[in-house]
Amino acid sequence: MKTLTDIRRELDEASERRVALWEDLAQGHDASKAAETARLSKQIEELWAEARIAQARARYGPSEEIITRARAEDRLDRESRRWRTAA
């Protein structure tokens, strides 16, 4: 898994390249540059999604641990409800 720093660096590079392509496209249409711009836009979206996941992992820990804690908490809640209704 890439670090958040690596992802941000890739985002910056892709964004700068896309800006340059947009400037070129403003001068006149070029199908290959338009296709590359579309590809870069998709890559940027994917990198943002990856960055959000990396930020959540850094802040809250691995998702597997979060799910394990939530399941344990659910089991405790069910058990306490069962004890309350039995009493």
Q: In degrees rounded to 5, what are phi and psi of residue 30?
A: -140, 120
* Cα 61-64-8 angle, rounded to 5 deg: 45
Q: How many Å separate Cα 49 from the centre of its chain?
A: 2
Q: How many CB atoms lie within 10 A of CB 41?
A: 14
Local structure of 66: helix, strand or coil: helix
Q: What is the pLDDT of residue 20?
A: 97
pLDDT recorded at residue 59: 87
CB 65 within 8 A of CB 59: no
pLDDT on residue 13: 98
pTM: 0.71
Rounded CA separation 70/76 (Å): 10
Average pLDDT per block of 10 residues along the chain, 87 residues long? 92 98 94 97 97 90 86 92 85
